[in-house]
Amino acid sequence: MVYQPPVGARDLLPLDVIQKRWIETRLQQVFHQWGYHRIITSTLERLDTLMAGGAIQRSTVFRVQGSHDEELGLRPELTASIARTVVTRMAGTTHPLRLYYNANVFRKAEAASHNGQQEFYQAGVELLGAKGLLADAEILLLVADCLERLGLNQWSLVLGEAGLTRSLLSVFPIELQPKIRHAIAHLDRLTLEALPLSTELRDRALFLFELRGTPEAVLQKVATLDLDAAQRSILANLKALIDVVQAAPRAAALPIILDLSLIQTLDYYTGIIFEVVSQSNQGLQVLGQGGRYDQLLGLYDPQGKSYPGIGFALQLEQIYQVLAIAGQLPQQTPIIDCLVVPSGPPTYPQALAYAQTLRADNNLRVELDLGGRSPAEILDYAQHRRVRQIAWIQENGDAKVETVNSQ
């Protein structure tokens, strides 16, 4: 019998880990520079905690039976867990809270998918207790800083406004709004055209469906609609946000596509919503997503007190694929600086001491030869494993250092 990892999971070998850490380290540096602090929440959550935000399908959660018949689930995302932690464990903390995470999440693959991935790695941030133009701008510019630090350049930020798009759907019959919303969210034009709508309303639905392009063009199109005061205010705030982030000092202009058809089928986001997409030879890749959620934390507060929130999650597997295709990731595990080889049992103490001195005093990567090989075999091993030097420990305890010509 050959034992394999479960369907949808995979093992990370040493080079995979090096490449993953290369990405994570650069993201962490950016998060630190922007004043964010790492938070680690439980992989297991109560099922009602996960479902409270309304952004998770129950069918996608891996459920676990806990003690006392408690229904638990493996987290499919981090925002709900962080919201629960902030409300229950950090109630007296001064706002705003800037938190970041780097963790695995689990989601059941759809029944139709074959060997679909079910374990994912994400890195992201949550900015809690702050709202307004500057808070939204910080998150968008932080996303851009992350991607630039990774060396990604063929990407765009697709920006929408969940509150505005929902309000624009209010002109449709209430019983058809969920179907229209679902069709728009899934870019299903055929379903949209087949709905029992008047010619005027069908044209309005298709207008919303195609409401994407440059910020200037989309804002101009929306302004032609008969908007109420609240909608005009949202539109003005959206324009101001775009102006601020595009005027911010950066190496290149933030590549924004304004897409007011960008909307979720479930109520979760209350303001701006966005996706980071990359175009490559492999097609369009969604590298991350995020948005504003100003009612979520109130669901976990015993008194219903809420705090504004906004954040994003970057999908590390998708980022890895883009960077790997571009050849931007490390291609080898780190070099071993020295292999220490005792000449026999009497020199074991000296070999151990020499290796430890190199590690402690010079911060080197040092391996100890564990015996059972001839000098020729040791040299062959060192060449294949990219060892810089071999320290042969002599019977008198001295080290004879040999430089290795690695293959």
> For the whole model, what pTM was predicted?
0.89
Of 291, 325, 359, which marks where a domain is finished?
325
Q: How many domains does the chain have?
A: 2
Among candidates 270, 291, 308, 297, which has minimal Cα distance to 125? Answer: 291
What is the average pLDDT across 209-237? 92
Higher pLDDT, 25 or 325: 25
Residues 284 and 342 grouped into a single domain: no
Asked, for residue 331, whether it belongs to a domain, the answer is no
Residues 311 and 345 grouped into a single domain: no
Considering the chain, what is the average pLDDT of its residues? 90
- pLDDT tens for residues 138-167? 999 999 999 999 999 889 999 999 999 989
Asked, for residue 157, whether it belongs to a domain, the answer is yes
Higher pLDDT, 179 or 407: 179
What's the pLDDT band for 354 if we cut at 50, 70, 90? very high
> Residue 73, class by beta-carbon neighbours within 10 Å (0-12 exposed, 13-18 middle, 19+ buried)?
buried
d(CA 321, CA 360): 37
Residues 183 and 74 grouped into a single domain: yes
Asked, for residue 139, whether it belongs to a domain, the answer is yes
- pLDDT tens for residues 306-353? 889 999 999 999 999 999 988 899 999 999 999 999 999 999 999 999
Of 325, 349, 379, which marks where a domain is finished?
325
Residues 188 and 261 grouped into a single domain: yes
Residues 304 and 199 grouped into a single domain: yes
The residue ranges of DSSP E strands in 235-386, in sequence order, are: 256-259, 272-280, 283-292, 309-315, 336-342, 366-368
d(CA 329, CA 19): 6
Asked, for residue 6, whether it belongs to a domain, the answer is no
Asked, for residue 3, whether it belongs to a domain, the answer is no
Residues 347 and 321 grouped into a single domain: no
d(CA 204, CA 65): 48
Question: Domain of 263: which CATH number?
Answer: 3.30.930.10
Asked, for residue 8, whether it belongs to a domain, the answer is no
Higher pLDDT, 253 or 144: 144
Asked, for residue 318, whether it belongs to a domain, the answer is yes
d(CA 282, CA 324): 12
> 215-222 and 229-247 are packed helices; what angle lies between their axes, rounded to 10 degrees?
170
Domain that holds residue 386: 336-403
Of 274, 300, 325, which marks where a domain is finished?
325
Residues 349 and 296 grouped into a single domain: no
φ, ψ dihedrals at 383, nearest 5°: -65, -45
d(CA 352, CA 368): 8
Q: What does the angle CA 273 – CA 271 – CA 24 come to, to the nearest 5 degrees?
A: 40
d(CA 5, CA 18): 21
